[in-house]
Structure 1
Amino acid sequence: MNTTLSLLTKNVRGVLAASAAFSVMAAAPVYAQEAEESAKAEDFEQIAVVGSRAAPRSVADSAVPIDIISDEEFKQQGATDMVSMMQTVVPSFNVNDQPINDASTLVRPANLRGMASDHTLVLVNGKRRHRSAVITFLGGGLSDGAQGPDISVIPAAALKQVEVLRDGAAAQYGSDAIAGVINFVLNDASEGGTFEARYGSYYEGDGDMIQLSGNVGLPLSDKGFINLSAEYRTADDTSRSVQRDDAAALVAAGNTFVADPAQIWGSPEIKHDIKLFANAGLELSATSEAYIFGNFAEREVEGGFYFRNPHTRSQVYADPDGNLLVADLTDDMSGNCPNDIAPGANVLTNQRYIDEVANNPDCFAFNEMLPGGFTPRFGGTVTDMSLVFGTKGELANDITYDVSLNLGQNEVDFAISNTINPSLGPETPTSFSPGRYTQSEQTLDIDFTKPFDVGLYEPLFVATGFQYRNESYESVAGDTASYEIGPLATQGFGIGSNGFPGLAADSQGRVSRNNIALYIDAEAYITENFMLAGALRYEDFSDFGDTTKGKIAFRWQALENIAFRGAFSTGFKAPTLGQSNVRNVTTAFGTGGELIDRATLPPTDPVSQLKGGEQLTPEESESITFGVVADFENGLFITADYYNIELTDRISTASGIALTEEDIATLLAQGINDASSFSEISFFTNDFDTTTEGLDVVANYSMEMMGGETKFSLAYNWTSTEVDRASENISPERIRMLEDNLPAVRYSATANHTNGDWRFLARLNYYGSIFEDHLDSALPIDKVGSEITVDLEVAYNFTEEFTVTVGAKNAFDEYPDENTQYAGIAGSLYPTTSPIGINGGFYYLRGVYTF
């Protein structure tokens, strides 16, 4: 019976925190095992392997599936933003392009194991990462209303590795860990560094990207380190559009002011993207150390929006009867302006318009100011910052501790240009700042671990701890012109910056809450080949009450090379402050082909309650995972894990609900003075249940061939989601999007060959077919066909320090099936939620200097 532990074993057990679920409980580092200690390593689980490409990506000895992704794997691909990089290397991680999707353009929602983007908990160095201030009001169905962390602010240059737990872990880490946990482990080198320059462009000749990044490690006295990383990136926008039918008709009728294309579908312009990270540690004594890490990031993005037709856009160009909307600019309404001019094929050549409006100083129509219609440019600036500091070490009796304070903030300052506030008439500005949202979080963690000899094969490892978290969500009004009720409002003209009306001063505010958590984890090897682990966590939130969740996991080494593992857990996701309190107005595409203004109101707002809204409650989950691990002597390593997640009371935004005149009157009575511009409302609601099941397969194999070494890897995922219950607030099209908008099958197979100074990489990616509700407007594309893309990369080491890489992502320039059904409605040449994107092939050149 093993009753004593080596120092290394104690450290690793402390890191494991008695949980088989993950490697970073208590946020202590996991150190690589020395070769001479490999025999001892068989007695305990070594979850994270630091800096080793030879280690398997899925760790063999864990009770649940974990991927270990090295920094090199991130560098060896064409993607440059973190969410796209994660999709390449994690089998069940999916992300779509968001060409025109409101705030999703700023922070793209990503999905692990078929769950929404805020169902995955994100950690950095084992500490909870704060949420983004961006709520994805339009998230492609699955992530509608999600408010997850923004992982795109993390530069690849700052990373040592990424650890992905693909299993429910709310009992270990609290709210959000329903689909799993992603832990970004920062580089802790105290010397050396890298500098990288990268250029890329799409085959179409647009989307030019330039990225500069660097990392340097420095000693902090002789007992510590400070590691600094920076990244700067810009990228031009892309266009994969065709001319809209209505815009083409205007041009055919002689309107020469209409742009071609009138509406642009493509990646947004990244004006600048700055990311800074610092990580430092200092040994205080033989048994304790202090640590501190943090970041600052700022990203300015601008993308396309929907075209405003100069004949039909209501409350700008057209009245409710479809006639030209004409304003009387006199103070006493003495202009006798016409209200019965039918636009015809081209209103600019309509003689009544010419005589009675264009040449009449008392009358005004926006056709005079914007004769070809207009297409707003929407975006904003996302600012992110964090600071974590603490101390950890070992006390008497093998007790380890970790005490830390975590401060995080994310802010989005929206911007919209090339648009108007119609109610201000000819005096309107054309650029607006519609408002700012800020998510702030402060967390105190106190963690302890200790082994106990209870007569089992190995000691029982117990971890316990306390967490206090305070969070706030603040909304700040936009500039006055973005929400101002101008003099033309009484004549039927819309209020606020068209496309994204500003948040009014009387709607701004700050809400906050706090919660406390207590947890206990335990892990023990009952016999040499059988391990059990359990966890229990209690949390109490100030705004909705408490909850208790648990987990049990096992691992059985059935044969020398084959082991079975599994877990059952309960989980939860607390409604975010943003979901419970935000007010927002956005433009959506209506089922009749018209643009509508949809207001998102708090679920407790009287109008929301009239339509079925009520106080949000937590989402609850039950998760089962069962898998097999095969680690053969010839180097072949395979894991296969089945998962089943039942999620009840899921939070999402209700499908748009039409407002009656009575509803609008109620809103006006509440002081929401721009309510006359609303066509629909939405609100967050616990409105449906789902069952998601799937299979992840990860395989790795290395062999010598052609005078060098080749590493083969496979990452396969099958996922199926069924909506078990849904209220009338969720449309049938939304249900299909929830079930079928992600590919049921996705896999990637990679071969990476190294031969002397040369390296060759080829990756085949398969994406199964999907369903798309085009424009979220009951325009079904029943089958967006399956696709195969290929990534290629060649690298050469000119010296030991300098490497040049040439590569192509989607090298054979594959596109999704063309949008033959609805392309003319809004000008989108391809289905906008295609899993391979809509931009085609991307080539890049990268130079890396290592010192």
Structure 2
Amino acid sequence: MTSRLSRRPVGRAFSTPPLHAPTARGPARPRLSHFARAALLLAGGEAAFAQDSADAGSSTAATAAASGTAAIVVPSVLVTGARAEPRTVQSSPTPVDVFSADAIDGAARAGLLETLNSLVPSFNLPNWVGFGNSTLVRGGQLRGLNPDHTLVLINGKRRHSTALLGAGGFTASAPADLSLIPTGAIERIEVLRDGASALYGSDAIAGVINIITRQDREGGSVQARVGEYYEGDGLTQQYQGHLGLPLGKDGHLSLAAQYDKQRPVFRDSPVPSTFLFYFPRNAAGQPILPSGSLASNPTLPAGATPDPREATRNSNQVFGLGGLQGFELGSLSADAGLDLGAGIEVYGLATYAHRKARAPQYFRHPSRDEVVRALYPDGFTPFSGITENDLSATAGVRGGEATGWRWDVSAGVGRDDIDTYIYNSVSPTYGLASQRDFFLGNQTYTAYTANGDLRRTLDIGGLASELSLGTELRQERFKRGVGDEQSWGHGGQPVLDGPNAGKALGNGFSGSQADTGNRPEDVINAKRHSEAVYLGLSLKPLRDWVVDTAVRREKFSDFGSTTTGRLATRFEIASGFALRGSVSSGFHAPPLAAQSQRATDIANDYANHQLRVSSPEAIALGAKPLKPEKSDNLSLGVVASPLQDLNVAVDVYQIKVKNRIATSTSFREALYPGTGALVQAAGLGFADGINYFINAADTRTRGIDVTLDGAFKGNGWGRLRWSAALNYNETVVSRVADTPAVLQAYNVPVFSVAQQNTLKYLAPRDKEIFTLNWSRNDWSVQTRLTHYGTIKRVGSPATIPTTGPWAGQREIVYDVGNLWTTDLEIAWKVTPRVRLALTANNLFDRKPATLPDPLLNKFQSYAYVNNGPITGAGGFYAVSARVDF
């Protein structure tokens, strides 16, 4: 079979149905309330806020022009969290953060995921959770839940998911990928920290991230940012452009483009000299097998001498995952709107992104059986890779002001197309005929959505109210294609040379090293559709009391129907002091890819098979049809402005999630004696392993969010603004799925303790962000301090230690948190249109803890823990320039 490397065409454009939720983009800009200011201050905005006057926009612009500071006027109107009329931050019955375009830019991060991680305390972005291509599409956690427990909207319309199941290392997750949206297209981001499935449907268990795009009719900007890490690596470049154009009399066409490129960062320890790369030599100078494990601990046998090449080898090989992957990403967006008259507007949004990314796997030293030494005499480091094309398009029409019924009808399509590769690898059973680069297969996810929404203000028994109702039709498709034959096949070639020359390579050596391709039996072509209706009612029983209710009924073709509801309220007890709270139910549909997943991973001496959950083999081993995850959310908060320039918000919450989806424990003969017979009964090799997707557990998450902000304005020395935001979050596993009897017989837990620990401990226990911003005339200085609390990790040593602090421990508990990082930006407005900035992220070069010694591999002298929010990359600095026109 011919390799498909670099031959696949770019995905085609689609013109079909579409995306979700009514969006109000705007009444005239209102007065900025204290809580609107609070949200902006929390975002670390760079410039003066709008004054509390009806002409806020013009007065702020005048103030900015006089002072030379960059002005930002961000509406306090919120789209997210209600189907009724948009509200200000102050009057919202649920907690919402609002981040301006300047706040996003001021974070100086590579993409929206990194930006949200630096701005939102309840958001966690782990770096690498596992190996392979799943690390190249990252996912962030809101309130410690899975990435696809947070719904992503763009202008109130549902964003499609990634095609890569297991994104970010979360095995059953397929979230929307925020990294693919150009930041220059964004006017603001609204983060709703509350369950909202009754409003928006599946996925909104932890909350909603709503991205509002720019709708400029004129002007634009270009910006460049270049930086690198303190050790002189990881060169990062970002170039942005935005242009606003008039469309008709009152319409707009807002265009944005962005290009990002990051080189990889490696922070692996040198390999100890006791770990041999080459075969040792006997007294006659002939190569012999080393002592210890050939793959994981080759050492010098008694009486042998090292190969002379050991003295000149490169001991700084990429032998672990301590660092950052490299990527190249280009993205485009176009937002258009045109007034047709009579209060009717036609609108549309299209985005496109193209990404290439690579991540290293473990170095294969040259004495291993899977190394074809004639091709790689000094070993090799395989690199997982993806080439991705992502496209979305939404179009709609709205109006109805004259009739009293405001309506919005829209349709759209989202498609993510990913080719997966392994580079600089080998398929050992093909010997000298092996490829070095392999196409592993294609994965494509497509979602078509159509929406119809109605809203009307009513008088119900003298109570001011607003009714909202609507429907959504959605169709999803997932396809996975086969990879190059050498990426999964067995060529029959034995070991070619060395002490094991002529040794047969079993099925565990099939396919390309590190990542193997999709086999013919792994091919998927699945689809499903869903229909939903919702009804919402917002009431105002008293002038200072707001009550929001909503109910939604949704039916899926593959697992049936579900109903969710929501009640949220806010009551202002006194001026500047209010209580708010909500209770809601939610759900998350199993990813379409998980419903039909069938995959094979190759290790050195066995293959692990993930069985399709509906297959007869999986059912015989206890698998059951996947159910949707369901949640119950409770939230209670207080908002207050006790002083003119002091704002406080405190919200406590509880989220119970039932039937969380994960992979079952992988079992095989070497780990659970006797299970080889089960594997053979499934038609697989005796030494192979098996797992499948399950509804693994129920969890309960409890936490608290606190935000405070204030400002001081001195005479002559500038303006000082500060904010403090913190999150405390704790998850417990309240129930684990029953282990099927067929597995109980061999002491196989269907969901292991190690897997439970990932649910509980991946996110920091607490996170605090403190921001201080000083500005005067043309200068501004911003400092952001972030504290990560306990980040608990649990590991099992290969050999139980007999001495030291971990003596006798089968599970070692350690903490990689309790870290402080500092970000600093110094900016200068050279002219009213030109801004220069110097940024340092992680100014003091803080790094996470290293692994406890008993958990190190033999090729490591130390290793940074790389699955937390802080990596071993260390400090980063950048310079940037922006020109407005």
Question: TM-score w.r.t. structure 2 length?
Answer: 0.81
Q: Which residue does the alignment assign to 2:289?
A: none
Q: Which residue does the alignment assign to 2:409?
A: 403
- Aligned partners of 2:505, 2:868: CA distance in 1, in Å? 42
1:148 is paired with a residue whose SS is coil
- Aligned partners of 1:776, 1:599: CA distance in 2, in Å? 25
**2:150 matches 1:120:** yes
After TM superposition, the structure 1 = structure 2 runs for residues 232-631 of structure 1, keeping only pairs within 5 Å, are: 232-244=259-271, 248-250=275-277, 253-254=306-307, 255-256=309-310, 260-311=316-367, 316=370, 366-394=372-400, 396-457=402-463, 459-488=464-493, 491-492=505-506, 494-586=509-601, 597-631=607-641
The 8 Å contact of residues 100 and 305 in structure 1, kept in 2 or not, is answered as no
Q: Call closer, same or farther: CA 1:26–1:635 in 2, change over 3 Å.
A: same
The 8 Å contact of residues 28 and 392 in structure 1, kept in 2 or not, is answered as no
Q: Which residue does the alignment assign to 2:721?
A: 711
Moved more, 599-608 or 534-543: 599-608
Instruction: Choose which of 209, 218, 221 in structure 2 pairs with 1:182.
Output: 209
Over the matched positions of the two proteins, sequence identity in percent amounts to 31
The 8 Å contact of residues 133 and 359 in structure 2, kept in 1 or not, is answered as no
Q: Call closer, same or farther: CA 1:696–1:812 in 2, change over 3 Å.
A: same
The 8 Å contact of residues 432 and 479 in structure 1, kept in 2 or not, is answered as yes
Question: TM-score w.r.t. structure 1 length?
Answer: 0.84
2:128 is paired with a residue whose SS is coil
Query: Per-residue displacement from partner, 1:778-833 (whole Å, max 9, x unpaired)?
Result: 87442224100100010001111111000100000011122242344464621122
2:515 is paired with a residue whose SS is coil
**2:777 matches 1:756:** yes
CA offset at residue 667 of structure 1? 4.9
Count of residue pairs the alignment pairs up = 755
The 8 Å contact of residues 105 and 268 in structure 1, kept in 2 or not, is answered as no
CA offset at residue 534 of structure 1? 0.5
Code of the aligned partner of 1:454: I
CA offset at residue 506 of structure 1? 4.0
The 8 Å contact of residues 238 and 265 in structure 1, kept in 2 or not, is answered as no
CA offset at residue 259 of structure 1? 5.3
- Aligned partners of 1:401, 1:844: CA distance in 2, in Å? 46
**2:850 matches 1:840:** no
CA offset at residue 514 of structure 1? 0.2
Q: Which residue does the alignment assign to 1:688?
A: 697
Code of the aligned partner of 1:689: D
Q: Call closer, same or farther: CA 1:373–1:599 in 2, change over 3 Å.
A: farther
- Aligned partners of 2:483, 2:696: CA distance in 1, in Å? 31
CA offset at residue 836 of structure 1? 1.8
Code of the aligned partner of 2:760: E
Moved more, 395-404 or 773-782: 773-782
Q: Which residue does the alignment assign to 1:90?
A: 120
Q: Which residue does the alignment assign to 1:792?
A: 824
Q: Which residue does the alignment assign to 2:17?
A: none
- Aligned partners of 1:418, 1:666: CA distance in 2, in Å? 36
CA offset at residue 100 of structure 1? 5.4
Q: Call closer, same or farther: CA 1:665–1:38 in 2, change over 3 Å.
A: closer
- Aligned partners of 1:691, 1:525: CA distance in 2, in Å? 33
**What stretches of structure 1 of length at least 5 have no aligned partner?**
1-23, 42-47, 318-365, 589-593, 669-674
Instruction: Choose which of 179, 199, 212 in structure 1 pairs with 2:239.
Output: 212
- Aligned partners of 2:877, 2:870: CA distance in 1, in Å? 15
Q: Which residue does the alignment assign to 2:106?
A: 76
Q: Call closer, same or farther: CA 1:826–1:25 in 2, change over 3 Å.
A: farther
Q: Call closer, same or farther: CA 1:262–1:87 in 2, change over 3 Å.
A: closer
The 8 Å contact of residues 668 and 679 in structure 2, kept in 1 or not, is answered as no
**What stretches of structure 2 of length at least 5 have no aligned partner?**
1-19, 37-42, 44-49, 51-56, 58-71, 79-87, 279-299, 301-305, 495-503, 670-674, 738-748, 799-809
Q: Call closer, same or farther: CA 1:501–1:784 in 2, change over 3 Å.
A: same
After TM superposition, the structure 1 = structure 2 runs for residues 771-810 of structure 1, keeping only pairs within 5 Å, are: 771-773=792-794, 780-810=812-842
1:213 is paired with a residue whose SS is strand
**2:865 matches 1:831:** yes
Moved more, 732-741 or 600-609: 600-609
Q: Call closer, same or farther: CA 1:677–1:708 in 2, change over 3 Å.
A: farther
2:619 is paired with a residue whose SS is helix
1:27 is paired with a residue whose SS is coil
Moved more, 192-201 or 250-259: 250-259
The 8 Å contact of residues 533 and 552 in structure 1, kept in 2 or not, is answered as yes
Q: Call closer, same or farther: CA 1:75–1:560 in 2, change over 3 Å.
A: same
1:370 is paired with a residue whose SS is coil
- Aligned partners of 2:117, 2:695: CA distance in 1, in Å? 29
The 8 Å contact of residues 646 and 690 in structure 1, kept in 2 or not, is answered as yes
The 8 Å contact of residues 170 and 572 in structure 1, kept in 2 or not, is answered as yes
- Aligned partners of 1:262, 1:182: CA distance in 2, in Å? 36
The 8 Å contact of residues 115 and 179 in structure 1, kept in 2 or not, is answered as yes
Instruction: Choose which of 25, 36, 56 in structure 2 pairs with 1:29.
Output: 25
- Aligned partners of 1:663, 1:75: CA distance in 2, in Å? 55
CA offset at residue 250 of structure 1? 3.3
Code of the aligned partner of 1:230: A
The 8 Å contact of residues 325 and 358 in structure 2, kept in 1 or not, is answered as yes
Root mean square deviation of aligned Cα = 2.7
Code of the aligned partner of 2:351: N
Q: Call closer, same or farther: CA 1:471–1:776 in 2, change over 3 Å.
A: farther
The 8 Å contact of residues 245 and 824 in structure 1, kept in 2 or not, is answered as no
- Aligned partners of 2:99, 2:374: CA distance in 1, in Å? 58
Query: Per-residue displacement from partner, 1:447-490 (whole Å, max 9, x unpaired)?
Result: 00011111344x21010001000000000111222122312387
CA offset at residue 655 of structure 1? 2.9
2:759 is paired with a residue whose SS is helix
After TM superposition, the structure 1 = structure 2 runs for residues 141-160 of structure 1, keeping only pairs within 5 Å, are: 143-160=170-187
Q: Which residue does the alignment assign to 1:203?
A: 230
